[in-house]
Amino acid sequence: NTAGCGLVSEAALQAGSDLYKNFSTNSSAAAETWREKTSHHIRKTLANFIHAPESNIALIPNFSFGINGIVQSLQGNEKVMLYKRDYPSLIAPFLSNNFSIEWIDDEDGFILSLEKIENLLRNFHIDIVAISHVQWLTGFKIDLKKIQTVCKKYNATLIVDATQSLGAANINIQEQPVDALIASNYKWMNAGFGSGILYMSNNFLNTYPPKLSGHNNVTYLNGSWIHAASIQGFEPGHLNMHGFSILEKAIEEKNKIGLENIEQHNKQLTQYVLDEIKNYPVQLMGESSTENRSSIIFLKDENGLSEWLKQHNIIVTPRNGDIRISFHYYNTKADADALLHCLSAWRK
């Protein structure tokens, strides 16, 4: 159930605890060291993780903070394309700020057609496309490189919610040059709550400099305050040192395994279950392959299925009459077989 909240390792938890233990005896010195040295190292670690320049990375509390900060930086007269069933935190800021919106719907409850997106961009002169990399209600994964190519063709800016993919999908900004990418770290990054990442390209940052301001982009020099319009404007206050210390360790663990290995493991485990559940009387949402899917599987919640799984210690998330199953690097074939065994017993 990583799509709900990922496991935090003992080592990552210890990294946060060690920092706060230091606060019990050496608080101000420990805090200054973290602000002046550790935060820059963490920013660089995150930048390397997505293959982006450090100067284009901001450390933020969560996705909602990031998307609201971006929306407030827009001019307000942009035409925006949104997916009807995308995550509410992505959609709501555009609605509450009265943007002109063109809606796109899926094909057969799963596929988001790039051809349909291109038609909207061509016919409605869309300025901004805001979309999730992986959809929370289906597990559909859009090809970032392909959608960015389409957006660039029609001079549209691409904003991506990567909360359901970062840490499980190999995101490379150099190969998938999106304009802005935002994610919370409590799911597939396995870093708990209270930390997020914001990436913005130079062109996006120059076009839409932050309207937020505070601690990290204001300098007191020669008796006056100097405001610098950098991406650190999206870091207006003191950061969650505990949360970002956990994140840094979680990234170290993922780098040790290899993100490509994690993605391949998740894909193989997901495909194994997709192949096997064809033999069960369950209704799968979307195609039975991982070609356009993350490691998220949705089944119709019929005849008490979700309650049955819960009773047998199979943890899933009920969503709108469906159940969401999601595998990450710590899940094993034995876990998948336990799920399938439980489905077999439920069928009987």
Helices (H), 284-332: 305-311
The one-letter amino acid code at 120 reads: L
Q: What is the pTM of this model?
A: 0.94
Average pLDDT over residues 136-141: 96
* Angle formed by the axes of helices 10-33 and 241-257, nearest 10°: 130
DSSP assignment string, 74-103: S-S--EEEEETTS-HHHHHHHHHTT-EEEE
**Sign of torsion, CA 45 58 293 322?**
positive
What pLDDT sits at residue 107? 83
Q: Are 131 and 308 in contact (CB under 8 A)?
A: no
How many Å apart are CA 234 and CA 217, to the nearest integer?
Answer: 9
pLDDT tens for each residue of 260-313: 999 999 999 999 999 999 989 899 999 999 999 999 999 999 999 999 999 999
pLDDT tens for each residue of 45-83: 999 999 999 999 999 999 999 999 999 999 999 999 999
